[in-house]
């Protein structure tokens, strides 16, 4: 992982975190769409950490598995939220 890739990953993570914060500030009445967006943003942040900080982008055999895990986790989290 070179410096410019790490810089890009950090900028992306800060941007996604600010996006989540702004969403939480400006959408006081949370609902299905809000929670779906927040969960997708968190999965994207987790994927950046896995691929760029943890260098999984260099392991094609494992990228798909971890991405599937993240997608499954946020889907299950959303289902549990939605059934309440």
By the criterion CB under 8 A, which residues form the site for other proteins? 1-3, 6, 9-10, 13-14, 17-18, 20-21, 24, 30, 35, 38-39, 41-42, 45-46, 49-50, 52-56, 58-62, 69, 73, 76-77, 80-81, 83-84
Q: How far is the CB of 41 from other proteins (least distance, A)?
A: 7
Q: How far is the CB of 38 from other proteins (least distance, A)?
A: 5
Compute the distance between CA of residue 47 and CA of residue 24 in angstroms, rounded to an integer: 21
Q: How far is the CB of 14 from other proteins (least distance, A)?
A: 6
DSSP letters along 27-49, please? --S--HHHHHHHHHHHHHHHHHI
> Do the beta carbons of residue 20 and residue 43 sit within 8 Å?
no
């Amino acid at each position: 992982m070179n410096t410019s890739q790490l810089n890009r990953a950090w900028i992306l993570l800060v941007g996604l975190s600010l996006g989540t914060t702004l969403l939480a500030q400006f959408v006081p009445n949370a609902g299905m769409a809000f929670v779906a967006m927040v969960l997708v943003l968190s999965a994207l942040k987790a994927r950046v950490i896995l691929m760029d900080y943890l260098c999984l982008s260099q392991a094609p055999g494992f990228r798909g598995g971890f991405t599937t895990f993240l997608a499954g986790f946020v889907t299950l989290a959303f289902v549990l939220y939605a059934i309440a």
